[in-house]
Amino acid sequence: MKKIFIETYGCQMNVADSELVAGIITDTNHQITDDINSADVIIFNTCSVRQHAEDRVLGRIANESSRKKNKPGLKIGVIGCMAQRLGETLLNNKAIDFVVGVDQYSTLPDIIDNLDEHDHYFTEVNNSEIYEGLYPIRQNQLNAFVTIMRGCNNFCSYCIVPYTRGRERSRPLPEIIREISDAGNKGFKDITLLGQNVNSYKWQDYSFPELLKEANSIDSIRRIRFVTSHPKDLSDKLIDTMASSDKVCEHIHLAMQSGDDDVLKRMNRGYSAEHYYNLTEKLRAEMPEIAITTDIIAGFPGETENQFLNTYRYMEMIEFDYAFTFKYSPRTGTKAADFINQIPEEIRLERLQRLIELQEKITLKKYQEQIGKIKEIYVEGISKKSEDEVSGKSRDFKITVFPGDKTLIGSFVKVKITDATGWTLRGERTDIA
């Protein structure tokens, strides 16, 4: 029996994969530890979305490999997107003992049992791998993330994911429903359905709206969320299903990326800015309280000042509750990295700064519009700033802080919003008799 420590980088998909890996490893009599000092094996679950993500984890690996001096039997492994992208070449790094790609996690127990023999790498792509019948060990105590599909077929020109996570494949609906109800029975009341592009879920005759309907009929849970949605696959049927399903929360993360049609075309996003705008109108018509959040890239190759201003104007018109804004960073292996008209770093940074300043004003306005409203809050913990306060999330995914103690953690309470700063609402309970 070996003790395994898993360190996770990157997106929610990777967090869910680390929980799946914990399940796979624990099923074979090895033990997951959260104490790196007692580990026999350290696994880094890595991200490749930007060069910085890879450099950071390679730095960590170099640091932790010094432990081998005092613990010669200690082994270090790399899994996740960087393992998939760099494969066997990672074994040139003497600190690394094994490399396992995103479709090969079932091989981990065998690798761990035979680590003393020689270095291992398994990064074969398997576009049908969905880890059927294998279930995660959840680290989070309150929110459960349930992977519904793996891979992505969209090939946005700036994105490495389709090259590291392979083609789209959906898990069988009965397995997903079983995993959600099990999680609900174990006390997880807030469920997030995960995929690179959940809107294109397809299993037999079931598409994503059908899956949402099925999940909505599970009694053991209270809230359903999903991430990530792609605008080209957001159908009227899905919007109707969201509006008519009481457990589906009034929040959607819908990556716009740019507000200029020419830039969207060169990003290979598959929709126009006007189409995106109309989607936000439809969502708000059906769910007036819905929060819409997004991702925006500033300084995509070839982006002119006017094209940038088109993005700026759409952000002013749509007024997202918040937006993750990024400066474009070329990713080796993606089409856009080879586009000739790369924008100088200082212009990318300057445009990013303008988006950040704009969005900060809009977010504050959107949060202040919540003052006076009564919201249902799922209490997640003691507030970071005060022992006498607790913090939790509203259905529209806003962090809310109010007076309370740890006995409230895991419960749903009604809170009247009395104040708002950038990303936090403040309030007082209204449901105390």
Residue 81 in contact with ligand SF4, rule: CB under 6 A: no
Q: With binding defined as CB under 6 A, does residue 423 bind ligand SF4?
A: no
The span from the CA of 340 to the CA of 348, in Å, is 16
- Residue 270 binds ligand SF4 (CB under 6 A): no
Beta bridge partners of 191: 144, 224
172 binds ligand SF4 (CB under 6 A): no
- The correct pick among 84, 154, 241, 334 for binding ligand SF4 (CB under 6 A) is 154
Give me the least distance between CB of 152 and ligand SF4, in Å please: 3
Stretch that binds ligand SF4, among 9-17, 66-74, 153-161, 354-362 (CB under 6 A): 153-161
Note whether 162 binds ligand SF4 by CB under 6 A.
yes
DSSP string, 397-413: --EEEEE--GGGTT-EE
Reference 147, options 185, 191, 110; nearest CA is 191
DSSP 128-144: T---TT------SSSEE
Category of 298 on φ-ψ map: left (φ > 0), alpha (ψ -120 to 50) or beta: beta
- Shortest Cβ distance from residue 201 to ligand SF4 (Å)? 13
Residues with Cβ < 8 Å from 344, sequence gap 6 or more? none
Instruction: Indicate whether 252 belongs to the interface with ligand SF4 (CB under 6 A).
Output: no
Q: Which two tokens stand for residue 227?
A: 């991430």
- Which residues between 181 and 210 bind ligand SF4 (CB under 6 A)? 196-197
Q: How far is the CB of 287 from ligand SF4 (least distance, A)?
A: 23
155 interacts with ligand SF4 by CB under 6 A: yes
Residue whose CB is less far from ligand SF4, 41 or 234: 234
Q: By CB under 6 A, is residue 390 in contact with ligand SF4?
A: no
| Residue 86 in the binding site for ligand SF4 (CB under 6 A) | no
Residue 156 makes contact with ligand SF4 by CB under 6 A: yes
Q: How many CB atoms lie within 10 A of CB 50?
A: 14
Following DSSP, what letter does each residue of 3-63 receive, concatenated?
Answer: EEEEEE-SSHHHHHHHHHHHHHHHTTT-EE-S-GGG-SEEEEEE--SSHHHHHHHHHHHHH
The residue from 75, 150, 189, 230 that contacts ligand SF4 (CB under 6 A) is 230
- In eight-state DSSP terms, residue 1 is -
Residue owning tokens 């959940």: 198
Residue 310 lies near ligand SF4 (rule: CB under 6 A): no
161 binds ligand SF4 (CB under 6 A): yes
Question: Which C-beta is closer to ligand SF4: that of 162 or that of 302?
Answer: 162
* Interface segment toward ligand SF4; rule CB under 6 A; list 149-157, 178-186, 339-347, 356-364: 149-157
In a 3-state reduction of DSSP, which class is residue 175? helix
* Residues binding ligand SF4: number (CB under 6 A): 10
* Positions in the binding site for ligand SF4 (CB under 6 A): 152, 154-156, 159, 161-162, 196-197, 230
